[in-house]
Amino acid sequence: MYEGAVQDLIDELGRLPGVGPKSAQRLAFHLLAADEDEVARLVSALTEVKRRVRFCSVCGNVAQEEQCRICLDPRRDTTVLCVVEEPKDVVAIERTREFRGRYHVLGGAISPIEGVGPDDLRVRELLSRLASGEVTEVILATDPNLEGEATATYLARMLKPMGLRVTRLASGLPVGGDLEYADEVTLGRAFEGRRLLDV
Amino acid sequence: MYEGAVQDLIDELGRLPGVGPKSAQRLAFHLLAADEDEVARLVSALTEVKRRVRFCSVCGNVAQEEQCRICLDPRRDTTVLCVVEEPKDVVAIERTREFRGRYHVLGGAISPIEGVGPDDLRVRELLSRLASGEVTEVILATDPNLEGEATATYLARMLKPMGLRVTRLASGLPVGGDLEYADEVTLGRAFEGRRLLDV
């Protein structure tokens, strides 16, 4: 329907999550009419993010070096480990300023429907981090939805026999939602009220 | 809050119309985790659209040559001219298959609030196209909202003394909305039922 290059851009934008055909068209025409500079900045941000960003070799968070800023920070408490699904969850928790330990990013949650099992997550890496015995508490901060709860239960059953204190973020987070959408106060309270998992 | 390159991408995506901070973050993390290929295709589509797409020297529609495909098509009726605000309106009208004339894209609508006057639109280009006398009817297909109506009235007052048949798309389009969101049937009916403007 459109000239080739415009249609190509609409198609590529329409592949992004949450961008429908009408939004893709609106974005494409915005970019078409935008300054060369604006588009150049977007292109450069896309290129740079693929070129420079990698995942921390320790915790799996996004990083620009071999390790992320949190793993490299000597002021962080190395005895408490907070397990989350995604790097954006790290950012949401950092925003509360309630937590001074370190993180472990699983890269998702167990989901039989989507065919994601424990082996598809960074569970092995978690176990080898715990092997040194430095960590005494693991906070399971997976999303408060079906997959997140299943993942927390799975990990708790595995970690409790290792003599670790295994906790889960307190209720207070709206069930069925995504951790990243909780406001700072709710998420902070959830940290304060974390409970021992009884499995 | 994020590593530099990720934050830069979130900032650039957040500048796009209709993309809020949470969507920008979600898109950025999607792209971060996406295949190199997917991001490369998006980057190339963005670059190509700025490199190859320009605006038709005759009608102002998007084009990959000096003129757009519609202006270059000898089968189009050169006596009827349909005036629209944006290139996406051309696509919406083409989809109805009701119209076989040519287009004139204004590049917007008169809006005192946004400081857009007739001189900011391609009105001079419209008058010089009409000077040859080939066009006998001008269909004013600007959006059925305040700015579109104001633009249609302004143009009708200017064009009627030139002895042209000046028409406006029939009511049937939902008032207050955008032309591009009308379904094909509604937009086709609006074309059939266009009326002479009485100003």
Mean pLDDT of B156-168: 92
What's the mean pLDDT when you consider all of chain B? 89
Q: What integer pLDDT is reported at residue A24 of this predicted model?
A: 93
User: Among partner residues A3, A42, A49, which is closest to B46 by beta-carbon distance?
Assistant: A42
Interface test with B, best of A1, A7, A11, A12 (most B CBs within 10 A): A12
pTM of the model: 0.69
CA distance B87 to chain A (A): 8
- Which residues from A are below 8 Å from B3, CB to CB? 53, 62-64, 68-69
Inter-chain touch A17–B30, beta carbons under 8 Å: yes
CA distance B88 to chain A (A): 8
> Residue B134 pLDDT more than 80?
yes
Nearest-CA residue of chain A relative to B86? A29
Q: DSSP 3-state assignment of A66?
A: coil
Nearest-CA residue of chain A relative to B34? A50
CA distance A8 to chain B (A): 6
A55 - beta bridge partners? A62
Please report which confidence band the pLDDT of residue B171 belongs to, taking 50, 70 and 90 as the band edges.
low
Q: DSSP 3-state assignment of B80?
A: strand
Mean pLDDT of B77-105: 92
Residues of chain A with pLDDT under 50: none
A171: phi then psi, degrees, rounded to nearest 5: -65, 165
Please report which confidence band the pLDDT of residue B175 belongs to, taking 50, 70 and 90 as the band edges.
low
Q: What integer pLDDT is reported at residue A1 of this predicted model?
A: 62
- Which residues from A are below 8 Å from B28, CB to CB? 49
More confident residue, A59 or B185: A59
Q: Which residues contact A74 (CB under 8 A, 6 or more apart)?
A: none
Q: What integer pLDDT is reported at residue A56 of this predicted model?
A: 94
A82: phi then psi, degrees, rounded to nearest 5: -105, 120
Q: What integer pLDDT is reported at residue A171 of this predicted model?
A: 61
Q: What integer pLDDT is reported at residue B1 of this predicted model?
A: 61
Q: What integer pLDDT is reported at residue A150 of this predicted model?
A: 93
Mean pLDDT of B20-38: 90
Tell me how many helices (H) and strands (E) chain B has: 8, 7
**Nearest to residue B123, comparing CAs of B151, B94, B87?**
B151
Inter-chain touch A181–B28, beta carbons under 8 Å: no
Inter-chain touch A30–B16, beta carbons under 8 Å: yes
Alpha carbon of B148 to those of A71, A189, B168, B187, B189: distances in Å? 56, 51, 11, 16, 19
Q: What integer pLDDT is reported at residue A182 of this predicted model?
A: 78
Q: Which two tokens stand for residue A131?
A: 């092997």
Instruction: Cite the DSSP H helix spans in B55-176.
Output: 69-72, 87-96, 123-130, 146-159
- Which residues from A are below 8 Å from B42, CB to CB? 12-13, 46
Q: Which two tokens stand for residue B180?
A: 């591009």
Catalogue all structural domains in chain A, each as residue range(s) with its CATH number: 5-17+24-52 (no CATH), 68-168 (3.40.1360.10)
**Nearest to residue B30, comparing CAs of A112, A9, A86?**
A86
Q: For the segment A114-160, what is each residue's pLDDT rounded down to a tens digit?
A: 899 999 999 999 999 999 999 999 999 998 888 998 999 999 999 99
Inter-chain touch B5–A64, beta carbons under 8 Å: yes
> Residue B65 pLDDT more than 90?
no
Mean pLDDT of B67-89: 94
User: Among partner residues A22, A36, A180, which is closest to B50 by beta-carbon distance?
Assistant: A36
- Which residues from A are below 8 Å from B5, CB to CB? 45, 48-49, 51-53, 64
* HEC string for A61-130: CEECCCCCHHHHCCCCCCCEEEEECCHHHHHHHHHHCCCCCEEEECCCCCECCCCECHHHCCHHHHHHHH
% chain B with pLDDT above 70? 96
Contact B91, B120 (CB under 8 A): no
Contact B191, B99 (CB under 8 A): yes
A119: Cα within 13 Å, side-chain hemisphere: 1
Inter-chain touch B38–A30, beta carbons under 8 Å: no
Inter-chain touch B38–A15, beta carbons under 8 Å: yes
What is the torsional sign of CA B14, A61, A174, A109?
A: positive
Enter the ipTM.
Answer: 0.70
> Residue B12 pLDDT more than 80?
yes
What's the one-letter identity of residue B182? A
CA distance B6 to chain A (A): 6
- Find tokens 């009827």 and name the residue: B80
User: Among partner residues A43, A49, A69, which is closest to B46 by beta-carbon distance?
Assistant: A43
User: Among partner residues A1, A5, A88, which is closest to B25 by beta-carbon distance?
Assistant: A88
